[in-house]
Amino acid sequence: MSVSLKPLSEQVIVITGASSGIGLATARLAAEAGARVVLVSRNEAALAQIERELDGGGQVMHVVADVGEREAIERVAQQTIERFGGFDTWINNAGASVWGRLDQVPDEDHYRVMQTNFWGTHYGSTVALAHLRQRGGAILNVGSVESETALPFHASYSASKHAVKALTDVLRVEVQQAGLPVSVSLIRPSGTDTLFLDHSKNYLDSAPSLPPPVYAPEVVARAILHAAEHPQRDVYIGNANLMTRATQLFPHLMDWARRTVLYQSLQSGRPDDNREGSLHNTNVGAGGSGRASGQYPGLVLSRSLYTKAAQHPVATTAAVVLGAMTVLSLLARKRS
């Protein structure tokens, strides 16, 4: 069965992890496009503030929920159905992180990361599918460049994103085999300037840092919302596809790069004023919530040419052909 997705202006979109970062950027752009939006996170104060900011006549609602609990996700779905009559796109974006050597990080921290990232995506995907199997729509799971390229000091996060990739691949095949009108996509951002580092728990000697290139959260948000309208299998942001292919084709070279270049670049040398982050609570100190962008000290890119080309292949091909024809025409004039 072919999958036909509605325009954003006709959709109800559920977004987990919507109190900051990619989730918040996606919620803002979705609301601007006329979608009805359901904001989900653990942070009641931030969600209430964002709802007031975005609401245009009852088009936005929020539900406080821990995605690592199935009952909480079922409650999100039920309240959405009661308010809006259903939903069309479910975005599993909520994430948690801890930085430190594998043997340095306590089991309870590793467990919490997996509970949020993997089980949160599992619960969200299965609860969403139960509703969408008849209605049709999209399930968008936010993975990472780390779905393939594991980073030092990030064992449980990388493991969780590998697991999210596997879950998404299996779900897609099963949905397609059953002929359900549901699109299943894996979103793979590379480094993104959000509050991700502020929210992470940290056991390193200094604050962690993202390796460049780093992209604005709106770059990821635009790619997510494009996939909410146009079915896609994988959505790579920035250099995520390059890193994925390099890891698959040159594993030993990538091991060398990770134990030398990345091992050092992930440690900023700057003090970390909030080592606990929000892994086990919603208190993220000075980092706060309710902001899409973080405080990355380097260059933040506002667009990804690769992502735009991959998501708009016809327009990109036309532009390339037109450009080539223009160049050839100018060369012909010079020769004549």
One DSSP character per residue, 142-177 reads: E--GGGTSPPTT-HHHHHHHHHHHHHHHHHHHHHHH
Q: What one-letter code names the amino acid at 26?
A: T
What does the pLDDT read at residue 314?
A: 60
Q: What are the two backbone dihedrals, phi and then psi, of residue 12, each rounded to the nearest 5 degrees?
A: -110, 125
Integer CA distances (angstroms), 294 to 102, 143, 193, 223, in order: 26, 19, 5, 19
What does the pLDDT read at residue 123?
A: 98
Q: Is 290 in contact with 24 (CB distance < 8 Å)?
A: yes
Residue in 148, 168, 171 with CA at minimum distance from that of residue 158: 148
Residue 114: CB atoms within 10 A of its CB come to 18
Q: Is 19 in contact with 96 (CB distance < 8 Å)?
A: no
- The model carries a pTM of 0.90
Element (H, E) at 201: strand 201-202
d(CA 32, CA 311): 20
Q: Is 270 in contact with 206 (CB distance < 8 Å)?
A: yes
What does the pLDDT read at residue 334?
A: 60
Q: DSSP states of 80-136 as a string?
A: HHHHHS--SEEEE-----EES-TTTS-HHHHHHHHIIIIIHHHHHHHHHHHHHHHH-
Residues annotated as part of the active site: 157
My answer on whether omega of the bond before 213 falls inside 30° of 0, hence cis, is yes
What CATH number is attached to the domain comprising 201? 3.40.50.720
Looking at the structure of the chain, the number of domains it has is 1
> What interhelical angle do 120-135 and 155-178 show, nearest 10?
20
d(CA 219, CA 216): 6
Integer CA distances (angstroms), 154 to 5, 159, 208, 209, in order: 36, 8, 10, 12
Q: Is residue 286 part of a domain?
A: yes
What does the pLDDT read at residue 320?
A: 42
Q: Is residue 243 part of a domain?
A: yes
The upper half-sphere exposure of residue 334, i.e. CA atoms within 13 Å in the direction of its Cβ, equals: 6
Q: Is residue 255 part of a domain?
A: yes
Q: Is 75 in contact with 61 (CB distance < 8 Å)?
A: no
- Give every residue of the chain whose pLDDT is below 70, as ranges: 1, 283-289, 312-336
Q: Is residue 2 part of a domain?
A: no
pLDDT digits (tens, 9 = 90+) for 171-185: 999 999 999 999 999
What does the pLDDT read at residue 72?
A: 98
d(CA 156, CA 309): 32
Q: Is residue 329 part of a domain?
A: no
Residue 158: CB atoms within 10 A of its CB come to 21
Q: Is residue 309 part of a domain?
A: no
| Cross-strand pairs, 182 | 137
Contacts of 324 by beta carbon, 8 Å cutoff, 6+ apart:
none
Q: Is residue 331 part of a domain?
A: no
Q: Is 47 in contact with 243 (CB distance < 8 Å)?
A: no
What 3-state DSSP class applies to 41?
strand
What does the pLDDT read at residue 307?
A: 83
d(CA 60, CA 248): 42
- State the residue range of the domain holding 184: 8-303
Q: Is residue 3 part of a domain?
A: no
